Amino acid sequence: MATSSFVPSRPIPYGRQHISPADEQAVLDTLRSDFLTQGPQVAEFERRFADYIGVEYAVAVSNGTAALHLCALALGVQPGQRVITTPITFAASANCVLYCGGEVHFADIDPATALIDLAAVRRLLESHPRGYFHGLIPVDFAGLAVNLEEARALADEFGLWIIEDACHAPGGSFLDGQGREQRCGSGQLADLAIFSFHPVKHIATGEGGMITTARRDLYEKLLLLRTHGISKDPAQLQRADEGGWYYEMQTLGYNYRLPDMLCALGLSQLQRADEGLARRRALAARYDAAFGPVPGVELLHTDAGHAYHLYIVQVADRRGLYDFLRSRQIFAQVHYIPVHTMPFYQQQGWRAGDFPHAEHYYARCLSLPMFPTLSDEEHQYVIDCVLEFVNRS
């Protein structure tokens, strides 16, 4: 194989942020301004992000997990309420329900996409009395959009709200039944959507997150919950204004704000979002062309709206491939260990065997390097190494 000449000068991770000189300058400018935490960059980042996603409202928060927590609070999750999510996600998608005292349930994945199987969700809903479940948290896993048109119909039939976990899919979309593009996080079908700006995600601010929605009522709740439940807005005050200092704590909120410096970084990164997405899609197309014909490498279903946070292959000897790539300085990763198999969730009563498709997927999946600054040379090296392993085993 052609693995001979190129040797990576440092390990190639599965995801890596890119910080440009313009990003550095944006952070420095904010650092030298009057605003260390809440300043003009926050609202500007929210406005531009909302434009990018194509949604009415955006609320910047300290990270994606805080975004999920605030969404669950804004939708009124409380003890006795039950919410359905997928076992193939980062644990935070499920944990947010527990933060509010609710109960998490899972529906198995569709093996072709690794997304939550809406037919399995329907079976779960139909096997309980109406009103038993309150919400659904689908995840645009790897960057492939969940069909929210179908999810919305199901949610309406059973009286559920929807939080779309779109952490993997800024810029992603699917075509609805009428051939219209439905963008991830646009709030047209889900009540709320969330994003993360963790360094491996499309837009990186270190820590950071965003909630998007088309619902003004939820938007106003989120603004309050993000900052201690405190309002200074004259229009929102419940008592008479007592002077310039006056504010009211109206509900139990949190400090989940995103500082101005990080919003400046996010704004700067956002300018390269389309470019980064195009590069991700080009890398995926080359991976597809290289692995598509290879027996022994199974690919997930793809689609033109895929945002490719991850590029995943499934192989019989996943451990072997992981270790082999590691020996070649390629640090692939596994997404995800099914949430219901985590020790904590086992203590909650879930068992290995509960979601066979998720568990079968987990046994075989591996996320290969996928980030915009992966060079063509590095990319070819990754492809060659995978083929070398698969062809000899």
Ligand X SMILES: *Cc1c(COP(=O)(O)O)cnc(C)c1O
Q: What is the binding site for ligand X (CB under 6 A)?
A: 63-65, 89-90, 92-93, 139, 165, 167-168, 196, 198, 209
Which position has the token pair 């997405």? 277
d(CA 293, CA 383): 13
- In the bound state with ligand X, the residue whose beta carbon lies nearer, of 90 and 350, is 90
Shortest distance, CB of residue 165 to ligand X, whole angstroms?
Answer: 5
Shortest distance, CB of residue 254 to ligand X, whole angstroms?
Answer: 14
Q: Which residue is nearest to ligand X (CB)?
A: 64
d(CA 191, CA 89): 20
d(CA 303, CA 197): 24
Shortest distance, CB of residue 192 to ligand X, whole angstroms?
Answer: 13
Q: How far is CA 384 from CA 6, 245, 377, in A?
A: 11, 65, 11
Question: Do residues 210 and 187 make contact, with C-beta atoms less than 8 angstroms apart?
Answer: no
- In the bound state with ligand X, the residue whose beta carbon lies nearer, of 12 and 193, is 193
- In the bound state with ligand X, the residue whose beta carbon lies nearer, of 370 and 385, is 370
Shortest distance, CB of residue 336 to ligand X, whole angstroms?
Answer: 8
Using DSSP, state whether 106 is helix, strand or coil. strand
Shortest distance, CB of residue 88 to ligand X, whole angstroms?
Answer: 10
d(CA 250, CA 228): 9
At CB < 8 A and 24+ separation, what contacts does 175-178 make? 175/305, 176/149, 177/149
- In the bound state with ligand X, the residue whose beta carbon lies nearer, of 64 and 305, is 64
**What are the beta bridge partners of residue 175?**
181
- In the bound state with ligand X, the residue whose beta carbon lies nearer, of 41 and 65, is 65
**What are the beta bridge partners of residue 174?**
182
Shortest distance, CB of residue 54 to ligand X, whole angstroms?
Answer: 20
- In the bound state with ligand X, the residue whose beta carbon lies nearer, of 201 and 357, is 201
